[in-house]
Chains A and B, each alone.
Chain A
Amino acid sequence: MKRSVRNKIYDKVFEIIGYTATFFGLIILLYFITDIVYEGWNRIDYDFLTSYTSRKAEKSGIFPAWVGSVWILALTLIISVPIGIASGIYFEEYAKKNKITYMLEVNIANLAGVPSIIYGLLGLEIFGRMFGFGSSILTGSLTLALLILPIIIVSTREALKAVPQSLRDASFALGASKWQTIWLQILPSSMGGVLTGTILALSRAVGETAPLIVIGALAYVPFIPSSPMDEFTVLPMQIFEWTSRPQHEFLINAAAAIIVLLCITFLMNGIAIYLRNKWQKKNQW
C-alpha cells in the first residue's frame, strides 16, 4: 500500500516536471516568434520579396537571398540524398560486421557533431580551391551536403532497421534477389522514415550561415543566380548582415527575412510530417 502511494507521488512529480520542461521551451519559442512577427510582419510584401538589397532599408528586398536559398536547397538535396540513402542501405544491408565497418560507423556518428564552420573550411579548400569551383552555389551545396550526410545516413539506417525481418523473409521466399527485396520491399516500406530524416536535415542546411561565409557567400548580389557556378547569397547571410547594421529599419528587415526563412522551414517540416503519416498508414505490419 505504502509503496503504491509513493509511486503515485513520483508519478505526479514527474508529470509536473515533464509539463514544465515542455512549456519552458515552448514559451521561449513563442516569445521569440511573437517578437519577430510583431517586428517584421508588416514589412513583408511583394516588393520585399522581389527587390535587391539597397542602402535604403525601406527599398531593400530579399530576392537574391531567397532564390539563393532555394538553389542551395535544391542542389544540396540532389547531391546528398542519393549518396546518403545509398550509404545507409550499404551499412544496413550489405556491410559485414567487422572492425572496418565499426570504425566507419563511429566516424559517421562523430561527423554529425563536428561544428559546421569546419565543414566550411573543408569546402573552401577542396571544392572552392582544389576543384576550382570558387565561391559558387555548387561549392556551397557540396559543403552543406557533406554537413548533412551523416544525419541522412543515420536516419536512413534507423528507418531500414524498423522494417520487420518477416518482410525480408517473405520476399526471399518468393524468390526475389537481394536487390529486388531492397528496392521493391524494404525501401518503399521505410520511405517515410527516410524522408523525414532527409527533410529535417535539409531544414538544418537551409539555416546554416557559418560554412557559407567561409566559402565566400556574398552579402550584395545584384542578380539572380542562373547556374550552379554563379556566386550567391542566402537568407541567413542577409539576416546576419542586416542585424549588424546600426539603423533600426534594417533590424525590421531582418525580422521580416527571418519570417520568410521560418516559413520555408515550417513548410519543409510540414512536408516531412505529411509524408511520414502517409507512409505509416500504408504500411501496417
Chain B
Amino acid sequence: MKAINILISISIIGLLMSCGGSSQKNNEQGNNMSGDIKIDGSSTVYPITEAVAEEFREIEPDIRVTIGVSGTGGGFKKFARNETDISNASRPIKDIEKETCEEHAIHYHSITIAYDGLAVVINPENTWAESITVEELKKIWEPSAQNKITHWNQIRPEWPNEEIHLFGPGIASGTYDYFTEAIVGKSGSSRGDFTASEDDNVLVQGVATDKYSLGFFGLAYFEENSKKLKLVAVDNGNGPVKPTAETVSNNSYDPLSRPIFIYVNQKSCEREEVQKFVKFYIKNAGSLTKDVGYVALPTEKYDTEYKKFISFLETHKL
C-alpha cells in the first residue's frame, strides 16, 4: 500500500508546488483593469507581440495577455472560430480564411505593425554571385526548375559549373508563402528539391557550411549571423539592392520586403482592455520592433495606423 501513498503524495506535492506561486499573485488586486487577451499566430510576428505584451504588463499587470505560435495559418483558423482576440500574421489574410471568418460572423481590423525583409544569402566563400535578378530567382525556384536547374552556370553562364544547393523555410511558414508569391508569382508554389526546415537556424548552418549554397530567410537571421553568411543584392529592374533597415522600410528592396500584421477581432474591441492593448501596441511598436530585430515603419505610418484604428472603433461605436 505504501506505493499508493507515495503516488498520492507525489501528486499532492506537485499540485501544492504549482499552486503556491499563484495564490500570491491573485492577492495583489489593484484598481487597474483586468481581463484576458488571447493572441495566436505567426512565429515571425511573435517576438514583437511578446515585447509589446511584456511592456504592457508593466502598466497593466492584471490584464493577462497570452500568445501562442501556431503559425499564420493556424492562428487564423482559431481567429475565425472566435477562439482568439488578436491574430499575428506574417502575410495578409487569404480569401479562404476571410470566408471562414464570415461564416462565423467574425469581423476584424488589420494593422500593419512592421516590415520584415527576406534575405537571399550565400556562403562567404562564394565570390561570383554579388547580385541576382528577380527573374533569375524565379528561374531557380519555380516548380519546373526541379531536377533541371541544378548548376550555378545554368543561371548565369559565367558562374561556375558546380551544383547549387538550395535552402529555404518549410512550406507551412508564412515566409515561404511570401517568397513564392513575390518570386514565383503564386503563393506556395515552388520546386520541391530543396532543403527545408521550420527552424531558420538550421538554414543558417546549412548555408554557412556549404560553398555552393543559396538560401533565403528573415533578415534578422542574417543580421545575427552576418559573419558566417553573405547577402546577395536583389535586382528588380532598378539595379541591385541589398536589404537594410532603410531599403526595407522605403520599399526599394523590392519585392522581398514585406509588411507584417496583427488582426483584431471587432467583437473583442468591445472590451476596453483589448482597445487599450491595441493602442499601446501601435504606439510602441516602432521602438520595440527594432529591439527584436525587425524594421519599424516610418513614424507617420504608425500615426496613420493609430487614426485608422480609432476611426474603426468609432464607426462600430465601440
Q: Please, how many angstroms separate the alpha-carbon atoms of A79 and B30 in the complex?
A: 37
Are the C-beta atoms of A224 and B223 separated by less than 8 Å? Answer: no
A96 at the interface (CB under 8 A from B): no
Are the C-beta atoms of A213 and B3 separated by less than 8 Å? Answer: no
**Main SS at interface, chain B:** helix
A149 at the interface (CB under 8 A from B): no
B57 at the interface (CB under 8 A from A): yes
Are the C-beta atoms of B51 and A67 separated by less than 8 Å? Answer: no
Q: Tell me which residues across on chain A come within 8 A of B22, comparing CB atoms.
A: 223-226
Report B9 CB to chain A, min CB distance, Å.
Answer: 11
B310 at the interface (CB under 8 A from A): no
B11 at the interface (CB under 8 A from A): yes
Are the C-beta atoms of B66 and A231 separated by less than 8 Å? Answer: yes
Are the C-beta atoms of B3 and A55 separated by less than 8 Å? Answer: no
> Of the candidates A67, A191, A195, A220, which one forms a contact with B66 in the assembled complex, judged by CB atoms under 8 Å apart?
A220
Fill in one digit per residue for A235-276: 1 if any B CB lies within 8 Å of its CB, else 0: 000000101111110010000000000000000000000010
B43 at the interface (CB under 8 A from A): yes
Are the C-beta atoms of B65 and A222 separated by less than 8 Å? Answer: yes
Interface size on A, residues (CB 8 A): 42
Name the CB-closest residue of A to B64. A223
A18 at the interface (CB under 8 A from B): no
Are the C-beta atoms of B78 and A216 separated by less than 8 Å? Answer: yes
Stretch among A8-16, A20-28, A35-43, A69-77 lining the B interface = A69-77
B157 at the interface (CB under 8 A from A): no
Q: Please, how many angstroms separate the alpha-carbon atoms of A270 and B148 in the complex?
A: 55
Q: Tell me which residues across on chain A come within 8 A of B15, comparing CB atoms.
A: 71, 74
Are the C-beta atoms of A55 and B10 separated by less than 8 Å? Answer: no
Q: Please, how many angstroms separate the alpha-carbon atoms of A189 and B70 in the complex?
A: 46
Are the C-beta atoms of A55 and B21 separated by less than 8 Å? Answer: no
A218 at the interface (CB under 8 A from B): yes
Report A58 CB to chain B, min CB distance, Å.
Answer: 13
Are the C-beta atoms of A216 and B68 separated by less than 8 Å? Answer: yes
Name the CB-closest residue of A to B24. A224
**Which parts of A81-125 form the interface with B (CB within 8 Å)?**
81
Are the C-beta atoms of B293 and A246 separated by less than 8 Å? Answer: yes
Name the CB-closest residue of B to A251. B201
Q: Tell me which residues across on chain A come within 8 A of B29, comparing CB atoms.
A: none
B54 at the interface (CB under 8 A from A): yes
User: A70-B17, A222-B53, A246-B224 given as contacts; is B3 within 8 A of A241 (CB)?
Assistant: no
B225 at the interface (CB under 8 A from A): yes
B315 at the interface (CB under 8 A from A): no
B218 at the interface (CB under 8 A from A): yes
Q: Tell me which residues across on chain B come within 8 A of A231, comparing CB atoms.
A: 38, 66
> Of the candidates A71, A219, A246, A275, which one forms a contact with B200 in the assembled complex, judged by CB atoms under 8 Å apart?
A246
B288 at the interface (CB under 8 A from A): yes
**Which parts of A36-61 form the interface with B (CB within 8 Å)?**
52-55
Are the C-beta atoms of B200 and A244 separated by less than 8 Å? Answer: yes
B50 at the interface (CB under 8 A from A): yes
Report B56 CB to chain A, min CB distance, Å.
Answer: 9
User: A55-B50, A226-B22 given as contacts; is B43 within 8 A of A246 (CB)?
Assistant: no
Are the C-beta atoms of B199 and A243 separated by less than 8 Å? Answer: yes
Q: Please, how many angstroms separate the alpha-carbon atoms of A279 and B1 in the complex?
A: 12
User: A77-B10, A241-B69, A244-B201 given as contacts; is B3 within 8 A of A224 (CB)?
Assistant: no
Are the C-beta atoms of A248 and B67 separated by less than 8 Å? Answer: no
User: A188-B1, A224-B18, A246-B220 given as contacts; is B47 within 8 A of A219 (CB)?
Assistant: no
Q: Tell me which residues across on chain A come within 8 A of B201, comparing CB atoms.
A: 243-244, 246, 251
Report A73 CB to chain B, min CB distance, Å.
Answer: 6
Are the C-beta atoms of A224 and B47 separated by less than 8 Å? Answer: no
Most buried by B among A52, A241, A244, A279: A244
Are the C-beta atoms of B18 and A219 separated by less than 8 Å? Answer: no
B59 at the interface (CB under 8 A from A): no
Fill in one digit per residue for A207-232: 1 if any B CB lies within 8 Å of its CB, else 0: 00000010011111111111000010
Q: Tell me which residues across on chain B come within 8 A of A67, comparing CB atoms.
A: 17-18, 21
Name the CB-closest residue of A to B21. A224
User: A70-B17, A226-B22 given as contacts; is B11 within 8 A of A55 (CB)?
Assistant: no
Fill in one digit per residue for B1-43: 1 if any A CB lies within 8 Å of its CB, else 0: 1010011001100110111011101100000000000101001
> Of the candidates A54, A77, A216, A221, which one forms a contact with B70 in the assembled complex, judged by CB atoms under 8 Å apart?
A216
A29 at the interface (CB under 8 A from B): no
Q: Please, how many angstroms separate the alpha-carbon atoms of A53 and B66 in the complex?
A: 11
> Of the candidates B3, B7, B17, B43, which one forms a contact with A77 in the assembled complex, judged by CB atoms under 8 Å apart?
B7
Are the C-beta atoms of B51 and A219 separated by less than 8 Å? Answer: no
User: Residues of B at under 8 Å CB distance from A?
Assistant: 1, 3, 6-7, 10-11, 14-15, 17-19, 21-23, 25-26, 38, 40, 43, 46-47, 49-51, 53-54, 57, 64-70, 78, 83, 198-201, 204, 218, 220-221, 223-225, 288, 291-293
Top 9 nearest A-B pairs (CB, nearest first) are A74-B14, A226-B22, A220-B67, A55-B51, A246-B224, A191-B3, A224-B22, A224-B21, A246-B221
Query: What are 30 A-B interface contacts by the 8 Å CB criterion?
Result: A53-B50, A54-B54, A55-B51, A67-B18, A70-B18, A71-B18, A74-B18, A188-B1, A188-B3, A191-B3, A194-B3, A216-B78, A219-B46, A219-B50, A220-B67, A221-B66, A222-B53, A223-B64, A224-B18, A225-B18, A226-B22, A226-B23, A226-B26, A231-B66, A241-B43, A244-B43, A246-B200, A246-B221, A246-B223, A279-B3
Given contacts A218-B68, A241-B69, 7 further A-B contacts (CB under 8 A): A52-B54, A77-B11, A195-B7, A219-B67, A222-B54, A224-B21, A251-B201
